[in-house]
């Protein structure tokens, strides 16, 4: 049985050496409200094509991993009653065996993209090390995204990690796993809704060509790690820092009151941001993922020319 089904357009682009950009599906099925998610799905695929590459949205549907979705499949993915579950890399086998439809996270999307021969992936924010909840000294909750990036030679373009996470610990772990973190037109690691965190970066590029140069060289050195290209949110969509910090503080209290733990922490915090900010964070989320996917497509097109 063929577990990975690659859409004809994606397969043809790969065979012809054209640029292809992997797109995750969790941001559509779980990160954005119904209706808006379908419009964003169209917008993301459109900006990839405008940059000269081919989009490959990834999900698990009808017992198979789908690399590249048609209009009907995108409709299913974005439907309010889709019933799709979040699938990290560890969940792929059980989901396929049990015929469970699901949306892929950064970890599973990166792994699938590499298996399909796709080397560039555009997303919103990477998972990371969670902040300790009130009353706890530390957190053992670490996203599988980090290990996937350390083990999978794929370029991931994101606006850093979600700002509800422990950025310092996340960067330390990436350094330990030998994952290069490159700032795009910035010397500081982005904070998702914020353009800059307090943490400086060792490397910076300022054009898609420079980024492609780094990727091309990295793929020729020993090792299997991917690359994280950290692209700040467009300045006009950056959240007010005071509002951001207040939302985060209130969100952490909410987690403590509800006893939320594990994989439910980030979705609950992000939903709190969306609700309490009166939609400001939703606009920010859309703007940053569009910017990241556009940049990923420009880099993919440049790499294809080589």
**From the centroid of its chain, how far is CA 296?**
11
Beta strands per DSSP E along the chain: 4-6, 20-23, 54-61, 64-67, 85-87, 102-104, 120-122, 155-158, 181-184, 203-205, 227-230
Q: What is the DSSP string of 48-103?
A: HHHTT-EEEEEEEETTEEEES--HHHHHHHH-TT--PEEE-GGGHHHHHHTT--EE
Which of 24, 45, 238, 286 is flagged as catalytic?
24
pLDDT at 137: 53
In sequence order, the 6+-apart residues with CB closer than 8 A to the CB of 207 are none
Distances (CA, A) of 122 to 14, 58, 248, 284: 17, 12, 25, 16
pLDDT of 257 reads 83
Catalytic residue list contains 24:
yes
pLDDT at res. 149 = 95
CA distance 294 to 287: 11
Q: Cα separation of 23 and 10, whole Å?
A: 12
Q: Which of 45, 89, 151, 162 is flagged as catalytic?
A: 162
Pairwise CA distance, residues 61 & 77, whole Å = 9
CA angle 16, 18, 21 (to 5 degrees): 135
The predicted pLDDT at position 203 comes to 97
Does the annotation count 39 as an active-site position? no
Cα separation, 194 vs 240, in Å, equals: 8
Cα separation of 197 and 188, whole Å?
6
- pLDDT at site 134: 54
**How high is the mean pLDDT in each 10-residue block of the chain (306 residues)?**
91 97 94 92 98 98 96 94 90 96 96 97 91 60 91 97 86 96 98 94 98 97 96 96 90 82 75 87 94 98 94
Residues facing 121 on adjacent strands: 22, 156
Give me the pLDDT at residue 271, please.
83
Measure Cα distances from 183 to 20, 55, 110 in Å.
Answer: 22, 24, 20
Alpha-carbon dihedral of residues 285, 291, 297, 298, nearest 10 degrees? Answer: -170
Pairing relationship of beta strands 85-87 and 155-158 according to DSSP bridges: unpaired
C-alpha distances in angstroms, 124 versus 25, 86, 157, 158, 251? 11, 16, 8, 5, 20
Measured in degrees and rounded to the nearest 5, phi and psi for residue 47 equal -70, -30
Handedness of CA 60, 65, 67, 69 (dihedral sign): negative
């Amino acid at each position: 049985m063929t577990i990975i089904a690659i859409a004809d357009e994606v397969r043809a682009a790969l065979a012809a050496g054209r640029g292809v950009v992997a797109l995750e599906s969790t941001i559509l099925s779980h990160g954005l409200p119904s209706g808006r998610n379908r419009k964003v799905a169209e917008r993301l695929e459109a900006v990839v094509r405008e940059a000269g590459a081919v989009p490959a949205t990834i999900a698990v549907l009808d017992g198979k991993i789908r690399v590249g979705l048609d209009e009907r499949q995108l409709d299913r993915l974005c439907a309010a009653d889709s019933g799709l579950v979040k699938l990290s890399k560890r969940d792929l086998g059980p989901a396929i065996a049990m015929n469970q439809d699901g949306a892929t996270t950064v970890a599973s999307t990166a792994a699938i993209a590499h298996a399909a021969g796709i080397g560039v992936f555009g997303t919103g924010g990477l998972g990371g090390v969670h902040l300790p909840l009130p009353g706890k000294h530390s957190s053992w909750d670490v996203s599988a995204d980090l290990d996937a990036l350390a083990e999978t030679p794929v370029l991931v373009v994101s606006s850093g990690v979600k700002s509800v996470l422990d950025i310092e610990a996340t960067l330390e772990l990436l350094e330990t796993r030998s994952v290069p973190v490159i700032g795009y037109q910035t010397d500081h690691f982005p904070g998702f809704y914020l353009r800059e965190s307090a943490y400086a970066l060792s490397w910076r590029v300022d054009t898609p060509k420079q980024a492609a140069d780094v990727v091309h060289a990295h793929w020729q050195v020993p090792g299997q790690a991917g690359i994280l290209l950290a692209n700040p949110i467009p300045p006009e969509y950056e959240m007010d820092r005071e509002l951001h910090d207040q939302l985060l503080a209130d969100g952490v209290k909410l987690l403590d009151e509800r006893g939320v733990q594990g994989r439910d922490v980030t979705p609950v915090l992000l939903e709190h941001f969306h609700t309490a900010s009166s939609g400001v964070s939703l606009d920010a989320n859309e703007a940053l993922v569009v910017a990241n996917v556009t940049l990923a497509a420009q880099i993919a097109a440049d790499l294809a020319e080589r």
